[in-house]
């Protein structure tokens, strides 16, 4: 499956313009060889395939500004790209656009422990930001499966969520200020450390989640948090999502703000990780229909007692069937590796049609039950593989192809049919078709049908004002 946006009515890139773009970043940081460009034009799932005559790798905000100014003068389309880990095709040059790779802009500009802030270039890898925060006894809580390669700019451009969103919010809540290069090359300097700044429109939030369609994020000032003194992680077996929802209520009551992760995992998702992941073992001695991976953090040394109290209440109420608390850091890491490998572990099982949806937390059990029935009715033998962030209602509702009787190509050809069935249930329950992965091209055509008409009109107006020539990541989102 390769979704290609409509080709924008923009001029081709001449050899003279290629030379002028190269002069901005230097020959060493301008990629023109087809083989060298290939990694920038595809993504790890092999779902989207693009092409580009040129990849530019700027090393400063001034260079990004010069690139945008030249592109505007000659109506050359640009596709900003971070770690190229996006899951909706937003970072792919589908129609031969120039790729602006931000990976060279990887400096930590400042760490201010007193203000609990860190200012970083957009190309800083998420894991590096996490480590630099830890170096000053602070926590940067954004955490994703791709944290070893995704970048801060990409995280903000897609408004990434992750496993810590329950306690700390999504990427939008973790950014105090941004530096952004606009389509015409102007630089918006909004790198504020202030938590209170009531001076008009919050322009920062225009660019977070915009997927590079309004401008290129070049730097961000991020919030840091006190580093927990104790973290306890448990892997729990139970009978149903409804039981997991009851355990969530107990956990929030006992731990209050100390409940930092609460992941719901279907048995089939766990089985795939154990079967196909390297060195992954099942944490419990027996199988259960559903599992919860949960974490309690504390600034004191009471996290263990809190976790034990949660599980004890769960067992007394007949909610928890079995559970194990990680005995050490190695076991905790193993629990999370099992969770992080779930998406990749579906690949050996054949085609997988993926959804990143959210519904009200209380509606998650009903959503899963209805969606499972509807998908299997649509494609008999298909295998729903739901897992995700129950604490904030965000479920990765993936569907693997039948074990027999259907080729991968035939199954993936039903992508939009499955989307229609799943999205109808999501919308009826007051949910969203995109919780944390963005719109890109994968969900672009569905967006006008599910978003408020006035909201869509305003989004188009804003796009026209900030990018009148339509050169910024054209064909994405809108």
Q: Let me know: does 450 contact 187? Beta carbons within 8 Å.
A: no
Summarised one tens digit per residue, pLDDT across range 242-286 is 999 999 999 999 998 899 999 999 999 999 999 998 899 999 999
pLDDT at position 288 over 60? yes
pLDDT at position 167 over 70? yes
pLDDT at position 341 over 70? yes
3 state SS for the chain: CCCCCCCCCCCCCCHHHHHHHHHHHCHHHEECCHHHHHHHHECCCCCCECCCCCEECCCCHHHHHHHHHHHHHHCCCEEEECCCCCCCCCCCCCCCCEEEECCCCCCEEEEECCCCEEEEECCCEHHHHHHHHHHCCEECCCCCCCCCCCEHHHHHHCCCCCCCHHHHCCHHHHEEEEEEECCCCCEEEECCCCCCCCCCCCCHHHHCCCCCCCCEEEEEEEECEECCCEEEEEEEEECCHHHHHHHHHHHHHHHHHHEEEEEEEEHHHHHHHHHHCCCCCCCCCCCCCEEEEEEEEECCCCHHHHHHHHHHHHHHCCCCCEEEECCCHHHHHHHHHHHHCHHHHCHHHCCEECCEEECCHHHHHHHHHHHHHHHHHHCCCCEEEEEEEHHHCEEEEEEECCCCCCCHHHHHCCHHHHHHHHHHHHHHCCCECECCCCCCCCCCCCHHHHCCHHHHHHHHHHHHHHCCCCCECCCCCC
| Mean pLDDT score, 313-321 | 97
| Residue 2 confidence class, pLDDT cut points 50, 70, 90 | low
| Residue 162 confidence class, pLDDT cut points 50, 70, 90 | confident
pLDDT at position 6 over 90? no
Summarised one tens digit per residue, pLDDT across range 202-245 is 999 999 999 999 999 999 999 999 999 999 999 999 999 999 99
Q: Let me know: does 338 contact 331? Beta carbons within 8 Å.
A: no
What per-residue confidence (pLDDT) applies to 145?
Answer: 85
| pTM of structure | 0.91
pLDDT at position 301 over 90? no
pLDDT at position 435 over 90? no
Ramachandran sector of residue 4 (left: φ over 0; alpha: ψ -120 to 50; beta: rest): beta
What per-residue confidence (pLDDT) applies to 3?
Answer: 59
What per-residue confidence (pLDDT) applies to 234?
Answer: 98
| Residue 7 confidence class, pLDDT cut points 50, 70, 90 | low
| Residue 469 confidence class, pLDDT cut points 50, 70, 90 | very high
> Average model confidence (pLDDT) for the chain?
94
Summarised one tens digit per residue, pLDDT across range 174-198 is 999 999 999 999 999 999 998 888 8
| Residue 10 confidence class, pLDDT cut points 50, 70, 90 | low
| Mean pLDDT score, 77-86 | 95
| Mean pLDDT score, 444-468 | 94
pLDDT at position 445 over 80? yes
| Mean pLDDT score, 139-154 | 94
| Residue 58 confidence class, pLDDT cut points 50, 70, 90 | very high
Summarised one tens digit per residue, pLDDT across range 372-397 is 999 999 999 999 999 999 999 999 99
């Amino acid at each position: 499956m390769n979704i290609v946006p409509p080709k924008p009515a923009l001029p081709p890139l001449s050899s003279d313009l290629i030379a002028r773009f190269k002069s901005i970043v230097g020959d060493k940081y301008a990629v023109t060889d087809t083989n060298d460009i290939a990694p920038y034009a595809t993504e790890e799932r092999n779902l989207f395939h693009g092409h580009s005559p040129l990849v530019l790798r700027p090393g400063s905000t001034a260079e990004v500004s010069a690139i945008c100014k030249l592109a505007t003068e000659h109506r050359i389309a640009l596709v900003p790209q971070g770690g190229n880990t996006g899951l909706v095709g937003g970072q792919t040059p589908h129609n031969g656009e120039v790729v602006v790779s931000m990976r060279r802009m990887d400096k930590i500009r400042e760490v201010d422990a007193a203000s609990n802030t860190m200012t970083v270039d957009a190309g800083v890898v998420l894991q590096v930001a996490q480590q630099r925060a830890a170096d000053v006894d602070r926590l940067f809580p954004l955490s994703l499966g791709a944290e070893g390669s995704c970048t801060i700019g990409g995280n903000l451009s897609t408004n990434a969520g992750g496993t810590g969103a329950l306690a700390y919010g999504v990427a939008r809540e973790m950014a105090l200020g941004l530096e952004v290069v606009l389509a015409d090359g102007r630089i918006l300097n909004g790198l504020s450390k202030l938590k209170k700044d009531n001076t008009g429109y919050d322009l920062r939030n225009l660019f977070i989640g915009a997927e590079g369609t309004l401008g290129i994020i070049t730097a961000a000032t991020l919030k840091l948090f006190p580093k927990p003194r104790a973290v306890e992680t448990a892997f729990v077996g139970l009978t149903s999502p409804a039981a997991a929802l009851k355990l969530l209520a107990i956990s929030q009551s006992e731990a209050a703000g100390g409940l930092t992760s609460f992941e719901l995992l279907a048995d089939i998702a766990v089985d795939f990780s154990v079967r196909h992941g390297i060195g992954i073992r099942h944490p419990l001695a027996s199988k259960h229909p559903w599992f919860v991976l949960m974490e309690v953090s504390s600034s004191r040394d009471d996290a263990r007692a809190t976790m034990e109290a949660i599980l004890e209440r769960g067992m007394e109420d007949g909610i928890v069937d079995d559970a194990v608390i990680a005995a050490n850091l190695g076991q905790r890491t193993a629990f999370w590796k099992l969770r992080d490998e779930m998406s990749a572990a579906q690949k050996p099982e054949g085609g997988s049609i993926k959804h990143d949806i959210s519904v009200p937390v209380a509606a998650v059990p009903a959503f899963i039950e209805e969606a499972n029935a509807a998908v299997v009715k649509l494609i008999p033998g298909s295998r729903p593989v739901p897992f995700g962030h129950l604490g904030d209602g965000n479920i990765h509702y993936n569907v693997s192809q039948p074990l027999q009787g259907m080729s991968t190509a035939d199954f993936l050809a039903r992508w939009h049919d499955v989307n229609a069935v799943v999205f109808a249930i999501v919308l009826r329950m007051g949910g969203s078709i995109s919780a944390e992965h963005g719109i890109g091209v994968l969900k672009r055509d569905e967006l006008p049908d599910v978003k408020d008409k006035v909201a869509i009109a305003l989004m188009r107006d804003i796009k026209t004002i900030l990018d009148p020539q339509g050169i910024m990541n054209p064909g994405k989102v809108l």
